[in-house]
Amino acid sequence: MSILSLANCLIGHHKPIRSNVHWKGKRLVGECRHCGAAIHRVDHGDWRAGHA
Ligand SMILES: [Zn+2]
């Protein structure tokens, strides 16, 4: 875990644990490898917090 990664989390750019993502309905959901937040993919490589 790095400070830079957490800074990205703070501005809403999360990174999933790749082995722990799954489809939920029409979107990929997972858990952020840096801050542990529940996240979902809104675009390729673009993950946001929350499952809504
Ligand atoms: Zn995060």
pLDDT of residue 1: 58
Give the residue, 26 or 3, on which the prediction is more confident.
Answer: 26
Task: Indicate the number of domains in the chain.
Answer: 1
C-alpha closest to that of 21 among 47, 1, 12: 47
- Beta-strand pair 46-49/22-24: unpaired
**Would you say 42 and 50 are in contact if contact means Cβ atoms under 8 Å apart?**
no
pLDDT of residue 19: 96
Q: Ligand 1 centroid to 7 CA: how many Å?
A: 9
Q: Give residue 24's domain range.
A: 3-49
Q: Ligand 1 centroid to 32 CA: how many Å?
A: 5
pLDDT of residue 37: 95
Ion ligand 1, residue ranges at CB < 5 A: 9, 14, 32, 34-35, 37
pLDDT category, 28, cuts 50, 70, 90?
very high
Q: Going by C-beta distance under 8 Å and a sequence separation of 6 or more, which residues neighbour residue 26?
A: none
């979107």: which residue's tokens? 27
Q: Ligand 1 centroid to 6 CA: how many Å?
A: 6
Q: Ligand 1 centroid to 23 CA: how many Å?
A: 19
